[in-house]
Structure 1
């Protein structure tokens, strides 16, 4: 079998999600194409998508609220699924906030048709013939949610720049889903959601 020598890019249109399969050992990047866009990243064991990247299990393993280069992400069965290997962005990412969903937008006064990361996730999985009865908490790349000394959260615009990328290595065969977050009622995307890209990097890279 010939090695993969070119980047396999999947564009994630604004307000939508895409799913890709990532073999163990390959690296995959989430790229902010225009800057200032949050991406909800979900990862699942390729042979059983009920095993998923778990922010809470990852926090207990790393003793950190937020991701850092060199650290692993763990599943709900406490197995490593991804390692954060590089980050060209300012390094602001979130592991506290649930995926936006229709109920969240209803509470914010949006129309029932408003896109959401939860709905995007399930559509992206369905495109691969997969289904899940729940929505895991994502890793929200480029999302800036600082915690103050009294434990309050602030929702700030993403500061990622055009072309900034966060890169993971797959620690098992996995399915990665990225949603270009459609949030336009809270200012995390500067009010105007834009596109992301998923780059599965060459085997020789």
Structure 2
């Protein structure tokens, strides 16, 4: 169990806070608006009304003991930047920040935050990918155009071997694991026989993974 602080408890910040709690972590929620604090006070590990643009107020929260601080006050660019500057001055190392524009992103990049998040953009990409490749349950970008994708095997593919499924892409794609109900199979040999309902996790470049899409529907 880790401890995280979330500054700004609007829709994005509150959703992130509740998910962290569901995952078994402790969460400090911070917001200047009492209505947001009151709405989540009974659910959060700790809830504090504080002005994130006030460095002294942030200092009193002892944020250095948290694994990371998520700044979710993206709607107010000035407040977001001031908050990040104060966190930097206080010595907080892991700072994740919600950005709402390219200029906001540019400034945060110059400030050297740990990660910049674009919720609407990232969700839009995931929705588009889901519409384009409905057989893909999950995907994760690894950088440098490398991806991990989880694919649900349909009934038509029952009994096919991994090598037959991948075809020419076998040498350019790595099968990371197969999930079959409670069982996990890894490594996955080329002659492994797949079954309907299996979840196949593949790693490879986006271009190679795209060539597999017609075989999976």
Task: Determine if the TM-score, normalized by the shorter chain, exceeds 0.5.
Answer: no
TM-score (structure 2 length as normaliser): 0.25
Calculate the TM-score normalised by the size of structure 1: 0.26
Higher Cα Rg, which structure: 2
Greater relative contact order, per chain length (Cα 8 Å cut-off, separation 6+): 1
